[in-house]
Amino acid sequence: MLSRWAGCCIAVQQRWVFAVMAFLALFNAYAMRMCLSITITEMAQPVNFTQEMIDLETCPNLDNQLGNGTSVAVTGDGIYLWDEHLQGIILSSFYWGYVITHIPGGLLSERFGGKHTLGCGLLFTAIFTIMVPLCVQWGESTALIILRVLMGLACGVIFPSLNTLTAHWVPQQDLSLITALIFIGVDLGAIGATTLSGIILKHYSWPIVFYFFGGVGLLWYVLWLVLCYNDPEEHPFISKRETAYLRKALNGHTHKNTPSVPWRHILSSPPFWALLAVQVGHDWGLYTLLTDLPKYMKNVLKFNVETNGYLSALPNLCSIIYLLFISWATDKCVSANWVSKTNARKVNTSISTLLPAIFIIGASYAGCDRVSVVVMFTLGLTFMASSLPGIKVNSLDLSPNYAGTIMALTNGVASFTGILTPYLVGVLAPNQTLSEWRIVFWIVFCVFLFTNTVFLLCASGDVQKWNDPAFLNKERQEKDKNKA
């Protein structure tokens, strides 16, 4: 049977098979993570608005434009009495578990390979997603919070293990483009979560959303076990030609049997701290928008659930188109020596933070001009896609050997913003009014500005000396010699 698979698949370049399956991994991970963000708008009973809130503070209903002197209660099919504060806790609870397993995930994938670390993370996320309706029926918000924490624990290993696998499968000259193709899964996962959830919610009950996305995740796991492996040498279907190509392309900075993680060097590295800072800032804005934008669309702008799904997905669709272009352009410019790798990372990172900061503030002052608000949010989230050839690949720049650990540290710490931002939105915008949300968006603006400044001052796109096993081994030998 194995020989038949090998004969069939040997003509296919396996690094692209890995790229497709990694893309689907992120698609499923984000779809399962985010489907609650729009589903909760139908699960929970909505906020009741009175006349004093409507005047300039909320927008008139699209289906029934209201004049002055009219009071209204926005009604829906929600059956659970979850106020904005509790909804914020529910949405943030995923990240309570998510931040815990990043470093274990990075260490496990570097020690044993990323295949099963990533696969098991997606498998358990799918199982927990399917369990959501039963758990909510049994224990309402408490059970849902516990389940979301477990989902976070499972998902926390995904990015570190994926980074480890990428270091063993993607040559430097194709790094931005192939990584972009993989990370499109994030945007398409968000599109799938919002658009498909909106369609399902219109025609079926909300539990179907979780059964659907969880079932797709289980199917992915079966394909992953068969098609993907830790590195080219372990792969049974890869051609000798591709193995030789990847060995030559990757062996300069990617090694087997590397020394243990050089914690002292990593934690004393200015480029690492610059990457950590900007990752925190970027995720602060990203999680604020991805987690709570559907609520803004429904409660403030008064879009119905299906329109909400389409409009929440629109920025992600534009991000995909822009991401492919900017990643190709970055690889082209770096390969042709038109710009250094360090400057390419700084330019893309600035685009991914400063422009979205401006557009998000613009949206907050556009009021109830729905077209302007949608355009502003779409442009803001589109330009945030520059974070991939700016921020996301920078851990692979600094240290291909320890990319999983660096991703675990930066993404893990930054994921604390996923805990804080939904809770902060619940506290700062309990009535879901325009003025309350404006405060939320100004905080995003300030965080973007500060963290990008840190990155511009201290970032690097060069491989650090502590990535080299020879350097680390020599240093440790000298240290042992001095002790003796």
pLDDT in tens, 383-404: 988 888 888 888 888 888 787 7
What pLDDT does 14 receive? Answer: 85
268-277, 414-423, 445-454: least confidently modelled range: 414-423
pLDDT higher than threshold 70 for residue 276: yes
pLDDT in tens, 192-251: 787 788 788 878 888 899 999 999 999 999 999 999 888 888 888 888 888 888 877 776
3 state DSSP class of 44: strand
What pLDDT does 139 receive? Answer: 86
Burial of 254 per CB tally in 10 Å (0-12, 13-18, 19+)? buried
pLDDT higher than threshold 50 for residue 52: no
Write down the mean pLDDT value for the chain: 81
pLDDT in tens, 316-332: 778 888 888 888 888 88
The pLDDT of 261-271, averaged and rounded, is: 88
The pLDDT of 276-281, averaged and rounded, is: 93
Which residues make beta-bridge pairs with 267? Answer: none
The pLDDT of 172-182, averaged and rounded, is: 78
The pLDDT of 96-111, averaged and rounded, is: 85
What pLDDT does 93 receive? Answer: 87
Whole-prediction pTM: 0.71
Q: Measuring CA to CA, which residue among 281, 284, 274, 286 is closest to residue 384? A: 286
DSSP symbol at 466: G
The pLDDT of 455-478, averaged and rounded, is: 84
pLDDT higher than threshold 70 for residue 6: no
Q: Measuring CA to CA, which residue among 410, 382, 380, 381 is closest to residue 395? A: 410
Distance CA 233, CA 172 (A): 19
DSSP symbol at 467: G
Sign, CA dihedral 200-183-276-350, equals negative
DSSP symbol at 173: G
What pLDDT does 13 receive? Answer: 80
